[in-house]
A and B are shown apart, each in its own frame.
Chain A
Amino acid sequence: MTKILNSNISRRTVLGAGLAGASMLAMPSILRAQDKSLKVGVYGGYFKKSFDEHIFPEFTKATGIAIESVAEPTGEAWLVQLEQAAKAGQAPADVSMMSQVAMLKGQATELWTPFDMSKIKNGSNLLDHFVNKYPDGRIAGIGAVAWYITLVTNTDAYPEPPTTWQALWDPANEGKLGLLALVSNSFLLEVTAKTFMGGTNALDTEEGILKAFEKLAEVKPNVALWYRDEAQFEQALKSGEIPMGQYYHDVTGLAAADGQPVRSTFPKEGGIQDSGCWALSRASGKGDEAHVFIDYMCQPAIQATLSRKVGTAPTVKRDLLDLTPEEFAAVSSDIEPIIPRYDLYQTKSDWLNQKWTELIVG
């Protein structure tokens, strides 16, 4: 023991070796760096893999800008890292794909460099709600990808598809539902407001939100599973153990295509549309490249490729796309979507979370 401690390897030697090792690991990226390059953060796993395969190589071919993709964790961990790095003048990624709530939180600290729309000609293709703006109108983020959460059912248990979110409240469905477990990812308050209270504007006041909670409480006896883990619900839905619930439209479609007895329905009140934005860290020095990249991503052809290859809903207007009706239906719908009230999850997040937890746990 003491022999090891007294050996000649000093702390400095160890540090030196560590530094040498770290720079060895960093070498490839130094060698790769070209005159024009851009570090792009995308959600790790499926998204990063799909983008690396279908999108980034074509982009480099078209523009000569090399892309180094960075896997970002979901949740807000990435926002924290960007924020702290920016304070030190560093950008772990120049452009990142960010959730809407993370966009708002980043706005609060001026983390995002505003975009110059005159440099993003294709930006006019976008649907209005995919342009994320600072309160004073500067553009903080541009819609990257969108996806839907819809009403899903097991076709053996429900030969006829439900047509409305009211099915969640139907007493006949006691103990049959699987719903997402968090207020900030299930968006059930918005569903309640749109279905029973005339629209998500009903959530403007605390009284309105409390009323929505009250209505939502009636769903509780119908819920068999409040899930955080998607695989758990997906498996239960396929087997018919939990034959109804809310789930991702694209994944359900893929399962149905595999021959599983499941279907995804856009209720008449609309599916829940969640999305991610491209945003540029204020610590990045690659503003020009970032604008080129985002302009490229806003092309209808690229959005169509994303829909076909990655399964995301397009962020540009429907009539600009060359998607067939089937291809479009696989990822989206013409029914007006329920758009989550992201602002609430920023300004009232703790209160909402507390009320929600008390609602489902209590």
Chain B
Amino acid sequence: MRREAPQSLADYAPLIFPAGMLTVFFVIPFGTMIAVSFFQRLQGAFYEPAFVFSNYARFLSTFFAGVLGFSLFLAISVAVCCVLLGIPFTYLLTRMQRKTQVVWLVALLSILSLSEVIIGFAWSTLFSRTAGITNLFVALGAMEKPVALSPSFGAVLTGMVYQAFPYTVLILYPALVRLDPTLTEAARTLGASPVKAFFTVVVPALRNTVIATLIMVFIFALGSYLLPQLLGRPQHWTLSVLITDQAIYQSNMPFAAAMAVFLVLVTLALVGLTLFIGRKGEAA
């Protein structure tokens, strides 16, 4: 089936609604944010319209570079962990009976109904010294005495992977279900072991899906500001935490906006780079 290109102006009409929504709920707020990021901060008061670069200048320091670097590193780690866990998990899931699949998917979807606060508190309890999982290890004789596993980088990473995992599975699932089983069968008849067939046939066939998943989880994780606070030490706070501090507690909207704009730009650049490399690899 070939789709015809829009011929007249009326053919574009169905676009009006989504375009309007996008303008009202995305373009205008984002534009406001960019405008505010150039406003003049008045210490001891609020801000006044102006066109200054001081908010961006303040951001350009090794301190904020460090925080930005950590935020990106954390988001990338979460994305990589989710995909590494998600691909084998989803692959095995698609090979299960329909009924079992439904149970698993419903369980995963129910995680999405949990708020970040609940996830954070649940994990901080699990990682605590007084009531956490280390007590279980002590009871089993694997450890001497219970220890606190939170706050730590591992705790933040675990919490965020837990939160992003359902999304990962949801994106990977359709692609894996549609994956032609004859591909692996062919590999098997040609002598590949199941593991080898998985890595040499299934994974390359999923290339684009994997890249899309990585980007999606990366962006999702980049915006997280509650879990790093609940499960991490101050050095594990992301840029989003500092943006919240500035916007809500310091009422320094211009600086918060400048940081947010910077974060968006860096994110777009990274996503662009990923897509660029992905396309190049495809051409080769």
Contact = CB atoms under 8 A, between A and B. Distances in A.
A and B from one complex: yes
Nearest to A350: B43
B236 to A, nearest CB: 9
Interface residues of A, number: 38
Given A239-B131, A241-B130, A357 B249 contact: no
Interface string B126-138: 0011110000000
A175 B131 CA distance: 17
A182 B249 contact: yes
Interface in B96-120: none
B123 to A, nearest CB: 12
A184 B234 contact: no
B16 A5 contact: yes
Interface string A230-254: 0010011001110000000000000
A105 B121 contact: no
A358 B249 CA distance: 16
A346 B44 contact: yes
From B124, B128, B242, B250, residue with most partner A Cβ within 10 Å: B250
Given A1-B17, A224-B151, A239-B128, A357 B245 contact: yes
Contacts of B251: 75-76, 80
A104 B44 contact: yes
Interface in B42-72: 43-46, 63, 67
B237 A361 contact: yes
B163 interface: no
Nearest to A358: B63
From A104, A240, A241, A349, residue with most partner B Cβ within 10 Å: A241
Contacts, number: 77
Given A241-B148, A353-B250, A347 B128 contact: no
A361 B245 contact: no
Contacts of A224: 148, 151
Contacts of A2: 13
B133 to A, nearest CB: 14
Nearest to B248: A75
Contact of A1 (B14, B124, B148, B234): B14
Interface string B5-19: 000000001101100
A347 B233 CA distance: 29
B242 A105 contact: no
Nearest to A80: B46
A289 to B, nearest CB: 29
Interface in A173-190: 175, 181-182, 184-185
Contact of B41 (A75, A80, A229, A350): A350
B250 A229 contact: no
A90 to B, nearest CB: 17
Contacts of B235: 361-362
B2 to A, nearest CB: 23
A196 interface: no
A229 B229 contact: yes
A358 B248 CA distance: 18
A105 B67 contact: no
Contacts of A240: 130
A24 to B, nearest CB: 25
Interface of B: 13-14, 16-17, 41, 43-46, 63, 67, 121, 124, 128-131, 148, 151, 229-230, 233-235, 237, 242, 245-246, 248-252
11 contacts: A5-B16, A105-B45, A224-B151, A226-B233, A235-B121, A241-B130, A346-B44, A350-B43, A353-B246, A358-B63, A362-B235
Given A239-B128, A241-B129, A353-B250, 8 more contacts: A75-B248, A105-B44, A109-B45, A226-B234, A228-B229, A353-B246, A357-B245, A362-B235
Interface of A: 1-2, 5, 75-76, 80, 83, 104-105, 108-109, 175, 181-182, 184-185, 224-226, 228-229, 232, 235-236, 239-241, 346-350, 353, 357-358, 360-362
